[in-house]
Structure 1
C-alpha cells in the first residue's frame, strides 16, 4: 500500500514543525501553548483533517508529561470532572460529524474567549472571598463539558481546562500533573472516534512520524523553561496564549 504525504510547500512544513514544537512545550511547561499549534495546523490543513493529524502528536506529548509530572495529579479533581467530560466528548463527536471547517474554528474561538473572561472574573471574585473554584461541582461540570467538547472537535481542550486549573489556583506542578493524566486518558479515548470519522489514516500517521522529533524537542524546551519560571509568569503566559489562539480561530 502506497502512503502519500500532503503536497505542501516549505512554509507550510515550517508551520507544521513550529506547531509540533508547541505541542511538546504545552505538555511540559505552558498548557494552552498548543493553541498556536492548532491554529498553524488548521492554516495548513483542512480544519477537520488537522484535528486528526495533531491527535497522535498530543498522545506523544501526554507520554512526556506523565513521565515528568505524573505524581503531582489531584485525583479528586479528575474524578469530579469525569462525567461532564464524557458528555461533552459525545456532543463533540456529533458536532464534528455535521459541522463545516469554518463553523468548527469560530465556535472554538468564541468558547475560548468567553472562558478567559469567565476565569479571570472567577479568580478575582474567589480572591476577594479567599476561596477557589476547585471544590465547585458547577465549575467542574461547566469546564468539564466544554473541555470534552472542544478537545473532540478541535483538540482545543487544553486551553479550556487550563482556565479551570488556573481558576482553581493549582501550583505549576499540580497543574501539569493533573492535566497530564486528564489528557492522556481523554486523547486515547478519542482515537476510536477519530479513526471512525476518517480523521486518522496511514497518511496522517506518516505525517506525524516526520513531526515526532519537534514534539520531543518542544518537550525538552518546556521542561527546561518551567524550572526557571515563577508561578505568576506561568499564570500570565497561560492566559495570554489562550487569548491569542482564540482570536486567531475567530478571524
Structure 2
C-alpha cells in the first residue's frame, strides 16, 4: 500500500501543475515532475503514476495546437522511437532505480552540451546553425523513446532535436504534443505488464488530473505571448536543471 501524507500530496500537486504547464508552454519542464514523483512514490511506480498525467496533458496540448504540427518530422521519428521504447522496456525491467536516473541524466547533459557546442560553432564561423540531418533524427528518436520509457524523461531529448530544427513556438508545441501522446499511450501495456500501473497508482493520478488541466490552460495563455528567443533559452535551462535533478 502507498501511503501519502499532506506534504507528499503537496509535492505531487506541484508536479501535476508542472506537467500541465510543460505540455502547453515549456517542453522539458516535466523532468522536474519526474524528480518530484520519484521523491514521494517508489521510483518505478512513480513512472506509471506520472504517465497518466502526461497523457492527460498531451490530450489538452493536442486540442490547443492541433493546427500547428510538422508531420514530416513525426513520420521520420516513428521507427526510431519504437526501437528506443523496446530497448527501454528491457532496461527498465533489469536496472535499479538509481541506474535509471543516472543513465538518463548523463544522456541529457551530453545532448545539452552537444546542442550548445553546435550553436557556438555556428556563431564562430558566422553561419546559421545547420538543421540536424536524417541520421541525427534517427538518433534523437531512439534516445527519446528510450528515455521516455524508463523515466518519462523524453521531453528534454526531443526538445533538443526540435530546437535544432528551428520550429516556431506553436509548431514546436504542436509537434511535441502529437509525438508524446502517441508514445505515452503505447507505453501503457508495458507498464501494466511490468506490474507498475495498478488500480492504486491510477487512483493517485486521477486525484491530480484537475491540476494538470488548470495548468495546461494557463500555459497556453503564456505560450501565445512568449518570444522565440526566451522560449529557446528556457528550454535549454530546464533541460539542464532536469538532467542535474536526475543525477542527484
For normalisation by structure 1, the TM-score amounts to 0.94
Q: Are 1:148 and 2:149 an aligned pair?
A: no
Q: Tell me what 1:187 maps to.
A: 184
Counterpart of 2:19 (choices 11, 20, 23) is 23
Find the counterpart in structure 1 of residue 242 from structure 2. Answer: 245
Alpha-carbon distance between aligned partners in 1 of 2:141 and 2:94, rounded to the nearest angstrom: 22
Please name the residue that 1:82 is paired with: 78
Q: What's the counterpart of residue 203 of structure 1?
A: 200
In the aligned structure 2, how far is the partner of 1:171 from the partner of 1:44?
36
Q: Distance in 1 between matches of 2:76 and 2:128?
A: 22
Distance 1:75 1:182 in 2: 10
Say if 2:189 is the partner of 1:216: no
Residues matched between the structures, number: 246
CA distance in 1, matches of 2:237, 2:149: 23
Whether contact under 8 Å (1:88, 1:144) holds in the other structure is yes
Matches of 1:143 and 1:71, distance apart in 2 = 24
The alignment status of 1:178 with 2:180, answered yes or no, reads no
Whether the aligned pair in 2 keeps the contact of 1:47 and 1:105 (CA below 8 Å) is no
Question: Is 1:133 aligned to 2:131, yes or no?
Answer: yes
Instruction: Report deviation, 1:130.
Output: 2.7
1:36 to 20, 32, 38: 32
Shift of 1:132: 3.2
Distance across 1 between alignment mates of 2:127 and 2:79: 28
Asked whether the equivalents of residues 118 and 129 of structure 2 are also in contact (C-alpha less than 8 Å), the reply is no
**Deviations for 1:94-121, whole angstroms, at most 9, x for unmatched residues?**
0000001111111111111111111222
Deviation at 1:126, TM superposition (A): 4.9
Residue in 1 that maps onto 2:9 = 13
Question: Residues 55 and 187 of structure 1 are in contact (CA less than 8 Å); yes or no, is this contact kept in structure 2?
Answer: yes
Matched-pair contact (CA < 8 Å) for 1:63–1:184: yes
* Compared CA separation, residues 131 and 116, structure 1 to 2 (3 A): closer
Tell me the CA shift for residue 43 of structure 1.
0.9
Q: Which residue of 1 aligns with 2:93?
A: 97
TM-score w.r.t. length of structure 2: 0.96
Unaligned runs of 5+ in 2: none
Q: Equivalents in 1 of 2:157, 2:209: separation in Å? A: 25
Report deviation, 1:131.
4.9
SS of equivalent to 2:65: helix
- Which residue is 2:42 aligned to? 46
Note the residue ranges of structure 1 that are not aligned, 5 or more in a row: none
Pair 1:140–1:126, CA change in 2 (3 A): farther
- Cα distance in 1 for partners of 2:122, 2:194 equals 41
Question: 1 CA distance for matches of 2:64 and 2:118?
Answer: 30
Q: Is the 8 A contact 1:52 1:204 kept in 2?
A: yes
CA offset at residue 225 of structure 1?
A: 1.3
CA distances 1:209-248 after superposition (whole Å, capped 9, x unpaired): 1101110111012111112211111111111111111101
Hey, what's the Cα distance between the residues in 1 that align with 2:239 and 2:130? 21
